[in-house]
Amino acid sequence: MPSSDAPGNRDASIGGVMSDPAPPSTVAAAVSGSRAGTGVGEFEEILKRLIERISRILQAEKCVFLLYDAHRAELRAVLPAFGFTPFEVYQLRTRVQSNTLSSHVFRTGDSAIVSNAKSDSRAMAEGLARRFGVRTSVSVPLTVEKRDGTSQSTIVTTIGVLHVFDKAGGAAFNEDDVRLLRSMSLNASTLISGAQSYRAAVQEKQELISTIQGLSIGFVVVNMSGRILQVNTAARYLLDIPVSFPTVGMYYNSVIHHDVLCSIIAAALNGDAQLETSGEITLSVPPGDDDDADAEVEASERIYQVQCSPLRGAEVSGIVVVLNDITVIRGVERMKNAFVSMVSHELRTPLTSIKGFVATLLADTQGFYDKSAQQEFFEIIDAECDRLTRLIDDLLNLSRIEQGHAMQLVLSDVDIPQVAARVIAAQRPTAESDGSTLVMNFPDEFPAVEADSDKIEQILTNLVGNAVKYSPAGGEITVAGVVDVSTNVVMIRVTDHGIGIPREHIGRVFERFYRVDNRDSRDTPGTGIGLYLVKTLSEAHHGNVRVVSEPGRGTTFTVTLPMKQPRPEYSAST
Ligand code: ADP
């Protein structure tokens, strides 16, 4: 009864003989997994002629060989065969550990003559007479010899079994037939192992090609005369080379239309190709497939590092060009540089102002400035000192977070309206001088919230400070509180009527060092860490921060905080 080849069904063999209604293997398929390899096809053709010759010389009606499949621990017949139908070839397979004729010859390495397949126990176990009409047989192992380079010894490996069946005229095979078959089997083994090595090389090459094709970095190989040997999918995409456009064998500069990249490749080819050549290029990369098809997504400018390395065989035969996306690295470097210059600027501005007012007061030995003018100077100095303290606090917090320190909260019952009043009082002079009014709107019954008071003050200071900063035309700035008793959270909303945040930037404003760089905001000083800290501090309280904004109309930031912090879980002990 035919059995399926499904793994769970492999035991469905009778006496070590397995049958399967699937198409037969060929030596090409057995060694290459497909018939696609032309080289393996040639091996198969030569092997077919050899099998026919063996049958003719031994005056046999049938000749077939089985190859060892280590993965399945079985011997299976493969095409080409002589005197067997393809289906019979597929049916002829046996477990290595069974007591069939094929297994016996394979395991012992001995030849075998069977003069009556109907009575020989090994032939019977394999069903040779019953299933294939075999009467007599001579069988030899298929062996390959390999020289071990280091020990100079010869290693013999058995790769299968060669059977010749049914001598013409009904005679039995004899020892001369064994000798003849043994010598001819060597040619067959050499051919088969040649096909196997060829297949391994082809497979290795194909794996390498698919690895290169699947790389997310761009990869181009050019020979020393400037002709392309390989372009992977990523490189095609980046260099805008249509999939249908043939590249192999073309001159690189007729395929790659990027002057800087071509000049880097030319330098690598013309100069000393032994050395690595590198450079940086900017590419306009089309939007990916996963981008929203409806949205208008423009190609983005990305920075690529180009690295040309020699393609070494016995000698340098070309160059490998690798395109690596370094946009993010360059972006972070740019942001860090901008951050350093921003911080220096932010520190210098209040210091210049403090120094100016202190110098004025010191120089006023004649009492030119009256008490109220002096008071005004002191208030400005005081506000500038606060600004410096805030900046330094931000920097300290940032560095703590950067170093991976967990945010330590000093928890108490915080009266948030009181904190908000403090923040508003501190920022009122700056706000008023900018034409903004600060308004507080908290319900009377606003509950105490378990939180770190200093950190809440820092959150509000940053949000109110931004509201003032990004409302150049002034307007009302509200700090409002909302209580949601059903979920046990409070919300603090800071609303302004300032410049707003453009849609394309809104998702990024909470990123470290991120600043909106446009006409409206460019001249406003800042470091790009305020909102990052607001987010980190809110999350440290198991809360979050959200933003809604409309360019030209204003922005609302909402910080949501639980009224009580979740308790760490302790395991009960008795
Ligand atoms: P910065 O020091 O630049 O103000 P933040 O992290 O506090 O850094 O804010 C990040 C960016 O978000 C700002 O550069 C600004 O472009 C934008 N932004 C923050 N708050 C507002 C606001 N209230 N109105 C408009 N834009 C804002």
For 149-193, how does the pLDDT look when each residue is reduced to its tens digit (9 = 90+)?
A: 676 788 888 999 999 999 998 889 999 999 999 999 988 888 888
Q: What is the pLDDT of residue 41?
A: 72
Q: How large is the average pLDDT for residues 489-509?
A: 94
Counting from 1 in the atom list of ligand 1, the atom nearest the Cα of 517 is 16
Question: pLDDT grade, residue 26 (50/70/90)?
Answer: low
Does residue 477's CB lie within 6 angstroms of at least one atom of ligand 1?
no
- Does residue 21 sit within a domain? no
pLDDT above 90 as % of the chain? 51
> Which of residues 183, 208, 233 is at a domain's end?
208
CA–CA gap between residue 536 and residue 161 (Å, rounded):
71
Q: What is the pLDDT of residue 294?
A: 43
pLDDT tens digits, 267-322 = 888 876 566 778 899 998 876 554 444 444 456 788 999 999 888 877 778 899 99
- Say yes or no to pLDDT of 439 above 70: yes
Q: What is the pLDDT of residue 376?
A: 87
CA 388 from centre of chain:
44
Counting from 1 in the atom list of ligand 1, the atom nearest the Cα of 471 is 24
Q: What is the pLDDT of residue 334?
A: 77
Does residue 50's CB lie within 6 angstroms of at least one atom of ligand 1?
no
Question: pLDDT grade, residue 3 (50/70/90)?
Answer: very low
The candidate with the shortest Cα–Cα distance to 533, out of 409, 348, 401, is 401
Q: What is the CATH number of the domain that holds 245?
A: 3.30.450.20
Distance from the alpha carbon of residue 309 to the mean position of ligand 1, in angstroms: 44
Q: What is the pLDDT of residue 197?
A: 82
CA–CA gap between residue 185 and residue 158 (Å, rounded):
12
Q: What is the pLDDT of residue 109?
A: 93
Tokens of 524: 């406003």
For 221, the domain range is 215-287+297-325
- Does residue 22 sit within a domain? no
Q: How large is the average pLDDT for residues 223-245?
A: 91
Q: What is the CATH number of the domain that holds 377?
A: 1.10.287.130
- Does residue 252 sit within a domain? yes
Question: pLDDT grade, residue 471 (50/70/90)?
Answer: very high
Indicate if 483 and 380 belong to the same structural domain: no
Average the pLDDT over each of 46-50, 194-198, 248-252, 357-361 and give the range with the smallest value.
Answer: 194-198
Q: Residue whose CA is closest, atom 23 of ligand 1?
A: 467
pLDDT tens digits, 406-426 = 567 889 999 999 999 999 988
> Are the C-beta atoms of residues 416 and 457 closer than 8 Å to each other?
no
Please tell me which residue, 48 or 147, carries the higher pLDDT value: 48
Does residue 467's CB lie within 6 angstroms of at least one atom of ligand 1?
yes
Does residue 536's CB lie within 6 angstroms of at least one atom of ligand 1?
no
Q: What is the pLDDT of residue 32?
A: 41
Q: Residue whose CA is closest, atom 11 of ligand 1?
A: 515
Indicate if 49 and 189 belong to the same structural domain: yes
Does residue 510's CB lie within 6 angstroms of at least one atom of ligand 1?
no
Overall number of domains in the chain: 4
Q: What is the pLDDT of residue 273?
A: 54
Indicate if 341 and 389 belong to the same structural domain: yes
